[in-house]
C-alpha cells in the first residue's frame, strides 16, 4: 500500500491548514460575540453554573422556612430586606416567588440551556467531525438571546413587587391577574418576556444542532456509528423544536390576557365582589398547552444527561455499550411518547375518567424504554474493568436516581393513585430525583469527563470523589424522606403547616431534609473550587486522558477555531470498540480502519476489508454494499 | 498512530447523507411555525368544545385574500423558473409582482379585521373572535418576514447574483412563500369549517 505517499500527503496538509484555521481577533470577537462553538459552549456552561448557584441558594432559603418554621431569619435581612417580615420570617408571598424562581431557573436556565446549550454546542461538532456548527452566527444569537432572557429573569429578582410567584407552571388565573398576588404583577410580565426570549434562543440552538448532526457529519460517520451522546442531543433538539413553539403560543395568549384584556384563559372571576370583564376563557386550556411543552421538557432535560452517561459508562467500563440500537430505539420511543402523555399532569382537573385511563396507559408504557436503558447501563457495567473517575461516579449516580425516581413515576402516572398523591411532596420527590438530580448528575458527569477538552487540564479526582459522595448521599437524604411526607398528604408549595395538627409529627423529618439540603449545596462549593482552580492550575491533560474512542480526543489539546489542524478525520467504525478481543489496546478509536486491525476484526468486518483491498488504490463507491 | 490513521485512503468511507444546511434549517424553522399554528388551532377546537362560543361570519374578503396568495405562489414559482433559465428580467418582474400581491394580501387581511370590528367582533371579548385576530395576525407577521426575505432576494437579483448556478437563496424564498401560502389556505379552511 501507498504508505509513504500518504504520509507525505498528510504532512503537506498539516502545513497548509495549520494557518487557515488559526483564529485571530480582538477580545470582543474571541470571547464575547464569538461564533466558535467551543466558546459558546463555555459561555452557556458558565452562565448555567451561575444560575445553578442562584437556584440552589433560593431552594435553601425556602427549605429554612420549611424545616425551621419557628426560627428567626433576621440574619437574612441584609440580603432579603423587606422580604423578611418584622417577626423575622420569610414573607409568605416571597416564599411563593422563591419556589417559582427555583423551578424556572433549574428547569429552563440550568438543565435546558446549561445542559443542552453546553454539551450540544461543544460535543456535536467535535464528535460528528465538523469544523463548527451549521451557522455560527445563529449559534451566537442563541447564546445572546439566552443571556438577554437571563438578564430579564435576574432583574425580576430585584424589583419591589418581587419575581413571578405563580409557580413555574404559571397557571392562570393566578398568573394572569396582576391583582392576585404581588408576584403576578411586574414580576410575571418579566417572566413572560424572559421565557419568550428563552424560547427563541432554544429554537435557534435546536435548529443548529439538528442541521449540524444531519448534514455536517464527517466521512464515514453513518447514523449507526454516531456516539449515543449525539443521538441524545438530536432527539432533545427535535423534541424542543416541536414543543417549545407550543409554549410560545401559550405564553403569547397569556400576555394578551394580561396586558390587552382578552379572555383566552379567564372567565367569570369575581374579585372583592366585583365581576371582572373577562368572559368565556378556559384556564384548563392553558394547562393543556403548557403541559404539551411541559412534559416533553422533562425529556429535553433528561435525554442529554442519559446520552452523556452512556458515553461515560462505556468508556470507563472499558466495554462496548450494551445494546447500542436498543439505546437509540428507546430514546426514539421516549421522544415519541413524550408528546402523548401530557395530560397525566392534569388528572385532577375534572378530566373524563376514560381519557384519564388512556393517558395512564400511555404514561406507563414509558417505563418500558426507560427500563431498557437502565438494564443496558447495568449490563454495560457488568464485568467491566470499571474505573471510578469522577465522571463515572456521577454517571452511576444518575442511573441510581433514574431508577428510584422512575419507579415512583409508575405510581403517579396512575390516574387513580394520583388523586391522593397529586401536588404533594411525593410528586416533588419523584421529579427531583428522576429529572432534577438525574439530569444534574449527568451535567456534572459531563463537566468532569470533558473538562480536559474544555480547558486542556484535568480536574482533581479526589475532590471529585468527595463532591460525589456528599452530593449523592445528600440528594437521597433530601428527597427520600419527601416520599413519606408526600404519602402523608403534605401539599407542595405551602408556606407553613404549623396550622395543621396532623402534620406536626413530620417536623423532624422536614428538619432533616433542610439540613441535608444545606449540606448538599455546601458540597457544590467543593466542585466550584475544583472547577475554577483546575482551569488555571490543574494538571495538564494528555490528548486522550480516558482512552476514549470518539473524535473529540483526536483534536489538539486546545482545539483552535476549526477543531482539527489538518483534514477532518474520517470514521471507520462505531464509537464503542472497547476491549475488543484480540486488539492490542483496550480501545480502538473511530478513526482506525478495519484493515489496520486484522487481529481483532469480526468476520463481517473482515469482509469489509476484503472489499477495500479489492479496490486497492481506487475509491470505493459510496453505494457498494455496506 | 495518527499518521497511520490517514493511511487508508483506499478505504474511502461513505459520505454521509447531507443537504444544504441553510435549506435544511429553513425546513426546521417551518416545522416550528407549523407547531405554533397547530397549537393555536387545536386550542381553538378544545375551547370551542367547551361551549359559550360566540358565532359570527368570517369576513368575505378572506376568500379574496386566499385567491391573492394562491396567485402570488404561482408568480413566485414563475420567478423561480425564470431564475433557473437565467432570464433575469422576468425574474425581477415576477419578484415585484409577488411582493405587490403579498402587500395586497396584508391589506385585505386588515380590511377583514375592519369587517370584524363592524360586526362588533373585537380582539377583546369572546375567545372565538380573539382567536381569529391572533391567528390571522401572526400569519400576517410571518408574511411580513417573507416580504423582507423577498426584498433581500430582489436586491441579489438586481446585482445579478441569482442565476442557474446560484439558486439556493431563491429556492429558499420560494419554499417559504409557498409554505406561508399553504399555511393560510389551511387556516382559512380551518376557520371556515370550525365556526
When pLDDT is cut at 50, 70 and 90, the band that residue A280 belongs to is confident
Using the Cβ of B9 and the Cβ atoms of chain A, whether some distance falls under 8 Å is answered with yes
pLDDT tens per residue, range A538-554: 999 999 999 999 999 99
When pLDDT is cut at 50, 70 and 90, the band that residue A193 belongs to is very high
pLDDT tens per residue, range A237-275: 999 999 999 999 999 999 999 999 999 999 888 888 888
Which of these, A242, A199, A237, A203, lies nearest to A108 by C-alpha position? Answer: A199
pLDDT for res B2: 43
pLDDT for res B6: 42
What average pLDDT does the structure give for chain A?
A: 91
Query: Measured between CB atoms, which of A215, A554, A570 is closest to B18?
Result: A215
Res. A603: pLDDT tops 90: no
> Hey, CA dihedral for A364, A366, A371, A372, is it positive or negative?
positive
Domain-embedded: residue B24: no
Res. A2: pLDDT tops 60: no
Report the residue of chain B nearest A238, measured CA to CA: B28
Output the nine-digit C-alpha cell for A412.
403517579
Check residues A143 and B12 and name the one with the higher pLDDT. Answer: A143
pLDDT for res A31: 78
pLDDT for res A47: 97
Task: List the domains of chain A with CATH numbers.
Answer: 35-537 (1.20.210.10)
Domain-embedded: residue B184: yes
When pLDDT is cut at 50, 70 and 90, the band that residue A23 belongs to is low
Res. A11: pLDDT tops 80: no
Query: Measured between CB atoms, which of A220, A241, A571 is closest to B32?
Result: A241
pLDDT for res A612: 64
Structural domain tally of chain B?
1
When pLDDT is cut at 50, 70 and 90, the band that residue A343 belongs to is very high
The CA distance from B25 to A214, in Å, is 10
Residue with C-alpha cell 462549593? A525
The secondary element (H helix, E strand) that includes residue A454 is: helix A438-455
When pLDDT is cut at 50, 70 and 90, the band that residue B11 belongs to is low
> Hey, CA dihedral for B45, B49, B54, B58, is it positive or negative?
positive
Q: What percent of chain A has pLDDT over 90?
A: 80
Report the residue of chain A nearest B133, measured CA to CA: A262
Q: What percent of chain A has pLDDT over 70?
A: 93
pLDDT for res A24: 62
Instruction: For strands A270-271 and A274-275, give the pairing.
Output: antiparallel
Report the residue of chain B nearest A260, measured CA to CA: B124
Domain-embedded: residue B141: yes
The CA distance from A209 to A203, in Å, is 10
Task: Give, to the nearest 10 degrees, the angle between helix B127-158 and helix B21-49.
Answer: 160
The CA distance from A92 to A315, in Å, is 49
Res. B184: pLDDT tops 90: yes
When pLDDT is cut at 50, 70 and 90, the band that residue A3 belongs to is very low
Domain-embedded: residue B120: yes
pLDDT tens per residue, range A157-186: 999 999 999 999 999 999 999 888 899 999
Best mutation target among B1, B3, B4, B7 (most A Cβ atoms within 10 Å) is B7
Res. A404: pLDDT tops 90: yes
Residues of chain A positioned with their CB less than 8 A from the CB of B132: none
A281 in helix, strand or coil? Answer: coil
Which of these, B180, B186, B171, lies nearest to B19 by C-alpha position? Answer: B171
pLDDT tens per residue, range A62-103: 999 999 988 899 999 998 988 999 988 999 999 999 999 999
When pLDDT is cut at 50, 70 and 90, the band that residue B10 belongs to is very low
pLDDT for res A619: 43
| CATH code of the domain covering residue B44 | 1.20.120.80
Using the Cβ of B49 and the Cβ atoms of chain A, whether some distance falls under 8 Å is answered with no
Task: Name the residue range of residue B180's domain.
Answer: 33-48+55-193
Domain-embedded: residue B131: yes
pLDDT tens per residue, range B53-90: 999 999 999 999 999 999 999 999 999 999 999 999 99
When pLDDT is cut at 50, 70 and 90, the band that residue A6 belongs to is very low
Res. A20: pLDDT tops 50: no
**CB distance A408 to A482 below 8 Å:** no
The CA distance from A101 to A182, in Å, is 14
User: A43-65 burial string, b = 16+ CB within 10 Å, else e?
Assistant: bbbebbbebbbbbbebbbbbbbb
Q: Please name the residues between 287 and 346 in chain A that touch chain B, using a CB distance below 8 Å.
A: 288-289, 292
Domain-embedded: residue B13: no
Cβ neighbours, 10 Å, residue A99: 21
Query: Measured between CB atoms, which of A211, A281, A616 is closest to B127?
Result: A281
pLDDT for res A614: 56
pLDDT for res A256: 95
Torsion angles phi and psi, residue A270, rounded to 5:
-110, 130
Average pLDDT over residues A573-595: 92
pLDDT for res A613: 64
Res. B152: pLDDT tops 90: yes
Res. A463: pLDDT tops 60: yes
Domain-embedded: residue B1: no
Torsion angles phi and psi, residue A394, rounded to 5:
-65, -30
Query: Measured between CB atoms, which of B3, B15, B18 is closest to A214?
Result: B18
Instruction: Please give the ipTM for the structure prediction.
Output: 0.91
Residues of chain B positioned with their CB less than 8 A from the CB of A572: 8, 11, 13
Average pLDDT over residues A588-600: 91
pLDDT tens per residue, range A97-138: 999 999 999 999 999 999 999 999 999 999 999 999 999 999
The CA distance from A89 to A70, in Å, is 8
The CA distance from B91 to B61, in Å, is 29
Res. A441: pLDDT tops 50: yes
What average pLDDT does the structure give for chain B?
A: 91
Instruction: Give CA separation, A350 vs A280, A346, A415, in Å.
Output: 18, 8, 11
Write the DSSP string, B75-123.
HHHHHHHHHHTT-HHHHHHHHHHHHHHHHHHHHHHHHHHHHHHHTT--S
B74 Cα to chain A: minimum distance (Å): 29
Average pLDDT over residues A376-400: 96
Check residues A500 and A102 and name the one with the higher pLDDT. Answer: A102
Amino acid at each position: 500500500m501507498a504508505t509513504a505517499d500518504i504520509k507525505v500527503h498528510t504532512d503537506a496538509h498539516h502545513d497548509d491548514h495549520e494557518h487557515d484555521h488559526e483564529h485571530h481577533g480582538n477580545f470582543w470577537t474571541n470571547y464575547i460575540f464569538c461564533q466558535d462553538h467551543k466558546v459558546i459552549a463555555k459561555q452557556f456552561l458558565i452562565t448555567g453554573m451561575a444560575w445553578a448557584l442562584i437556584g440552589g441558594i433560593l431552594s435553601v432559603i425556602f427549605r429554612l422556612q420549611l424545616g425551621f418554621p419557628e426560627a428567626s431569619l433576621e440574619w437574612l435581612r441584609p440580603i432579603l430586606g423587606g422580604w423578611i417580615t418584622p417577626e423575622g420570617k420569610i414573607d409568605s408571598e416571597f416564599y411563593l416567588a422563591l419556589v417559582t424562581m427555583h423551578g424556572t431557573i433549574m428547569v429552563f436556565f440550568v438543565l435546558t440551556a446549561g445542559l443542552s446549550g453546553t454539551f450540544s454546542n461543544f460535543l456535536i461538532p467535535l464528535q460528528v467531525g465538523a469544523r463548527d456548527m451549521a451557522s455560527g452566527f445563529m449559534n451566537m444569537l442563541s447564546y445572546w438571546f439566552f443571556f438577554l432572557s437571563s438578564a430579564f429573569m435576574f432583574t425580576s429578582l430585584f424589583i419591589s413587587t418581587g419575581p413571578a410567584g405563580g409557580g413555574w407552571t404559571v397557571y392562570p388565573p393566578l398568573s394572569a391577574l396582576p391583582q392576585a398576588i404581588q408576584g403576578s404583577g411586574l414580576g410575571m410580565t418579566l417572566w413572560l418576556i424572559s421565557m419568550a426570549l428563552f424560547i427563541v434562543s432554544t429554537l435557534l440552538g435546536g435548529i443548529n444542532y439538528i442541521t449540524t448532526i444531519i448534514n455536517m457529519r464527517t466521512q464515514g460517520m453513518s447514523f449507526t456509528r454516531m456516539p449515543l451522546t449525539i443521538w441524545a442531543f438530536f432527539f432533545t433538539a427535535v423534541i424542543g423544536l416541536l414543543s417549545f413553539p407550543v409554549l410560545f403560543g401559550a405564553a403569547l395568549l397569556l400576555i394578551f390576557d394580561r396586558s390587552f384584556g382578552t379572555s383566552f384563559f379567564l372567565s367569570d372571576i369575581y374579585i372583592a365582589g366585583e365581576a371582572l370583564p373577562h368572559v368565556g376563557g378556559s384556564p384548563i386550556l392553558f394547562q393543556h398547552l403548557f403541559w404539551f411543552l411541559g412534559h416533553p421538557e422533562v425529556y429535553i432535560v433528561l435525554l442529554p444527561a442519559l446520552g452523556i452517561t452512556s458515553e461515560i459508562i462505556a468508556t470507563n467500563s472499558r466495554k462496548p455499550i450494551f445494546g447500542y440500537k436498543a439505546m437509540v430505539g428507546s430514546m426514539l420511543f421516549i421522544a415519541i411518547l413524550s408528546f402523548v402523555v401530557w395530560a397525566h399532569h392534569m388528572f385532577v382537573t375534572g378530566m373524563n375518567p376514560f381519557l384519564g385511563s388512556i393517558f395512564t396507559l400511555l404514561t406507563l408504557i414509558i417505563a418500558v424504554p426507560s427500563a431498557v436503558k437502565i438494564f443496558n447501563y447495568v449490563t454495560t457495567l457488568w464485568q467491566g474493568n470499571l474505573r471510578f473517575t469522577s465522571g463515572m461516579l456521577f454517571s452511576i449516580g444518575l442511573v441510581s436516581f433514574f431508577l428510584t425516581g422512575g419507579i415512583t413515576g409508575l405510581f403517579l402516572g396512575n390516574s387513580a393513585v394520583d388523586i391522593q398523591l397529586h401536588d404533594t411532596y411525593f410528586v416533588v420527590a419523584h421529579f427531583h430525583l428522576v429529572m432534577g438530580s438525574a439530569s444534574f448528575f449527568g451535567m456534572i458527569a459531563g463537566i468532569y469527563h470533558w473538562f480536559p477538552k474544555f480547558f486542556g487540564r484535568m480536574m482533581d479526582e479526589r475532590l471529585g470523589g468527595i463532591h460525589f459522595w456528599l452530593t449523592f448521599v445528600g440528594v437521597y437524604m433530601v428527597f427520600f424522606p419527601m416520599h413519606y411526607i408526600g404519602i402523608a398528604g403534605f401539599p407542595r408549595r405551602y408556606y407553613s403547616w404549623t396550622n395543621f395538627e396532623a402534620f406536626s409529627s413530620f417536623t423532624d423529618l422536614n428538619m432533616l431534609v433542610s439540613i441535608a439540603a444545606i449540606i448538599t449545596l455546601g458540597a457544590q462549593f467543593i466542585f466550584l473550587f475544583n472547577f475554577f482552580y483546575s482551569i488555571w492550575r490543574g494538571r495538564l491533560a494528555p490528548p486522550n486522558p480516558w482512552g476514549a474512542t470518539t473524535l473529540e480526543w483526536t483534536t489538539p489539546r486546545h482545539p483552535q477555531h476549526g477543531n482539527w489542524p489538518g483534514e477532518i478525520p474520517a470514521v471507520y467504525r462505531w464509537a464503542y470498540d472497547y476491549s475488543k478481543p484480540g486488539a492490542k489496546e483496550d480501545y480502538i478509536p473511530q478513526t482506525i480502519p478495519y484493515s489496520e486491525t486484522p487481529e481483532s476484526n469480526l468476520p463481517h468486518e473482515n469482509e469489509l476489508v476484503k472489499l477495500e483491498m479489492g479496490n486497492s488504490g481506487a475509491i470505493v463507491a459510496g453505494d457498494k454494499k455496506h | 498512530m495518527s499518521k497511520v490513521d490517514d493511511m487508508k485512503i483506499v478505504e474511502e468511507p461513505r459520505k454521509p447523507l447531507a443537504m444544504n444546511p441553510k435549506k435544511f434549517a429553513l425546513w426546521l424553522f417551518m416545522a416550528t411555525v407549523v407547531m405554533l399554528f397547530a397549537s393555536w388551532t387545536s386550542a381553538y377546537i378544545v375551547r370551542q368544545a367547551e361551549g359559550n362560543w360566540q358565532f359570527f361570519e368570517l369576513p368575505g374578503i378572506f376568500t379574496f385574500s386566499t385567491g391573492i396568495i394562491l396567485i402570488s405562489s404561482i408568480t413566485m414559482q414563475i420567478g423561480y423558473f425564470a431564475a433557473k433559465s437565467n432570464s433575469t428580467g422576468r425574474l425581477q418582474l415576477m419578484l415585484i409582482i409577488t411582493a405587490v400581491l403579498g402587500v395586497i394580501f396584508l391589506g385585505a387581511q386588515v380590511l377583514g379585521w375592519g369587517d370584524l370590528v363592524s360586526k362588533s367582533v373585537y380582539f377583546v371579548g369572546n375567545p372565538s373572535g380573539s382567536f381569529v385576530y391572533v391567528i390571522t395576525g401572526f400569519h400576517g407577521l410571518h408574511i411580513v418576514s417573507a416580504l423582507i426575505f423577498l426584498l433581500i432576494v430582489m436586491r441579489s437579483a438586481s446585482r445579478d447574483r441569482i442565476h442557474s448556478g446560484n439558486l439556493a437563496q431563491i429556492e429558499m424564498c420560494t419554499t417559504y412563500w409557498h409554505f406561508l401560502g399553504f399555511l393560510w389556505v389551511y387556516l382559512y379552511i380551518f376557520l371556515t369549517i370550525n365556526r
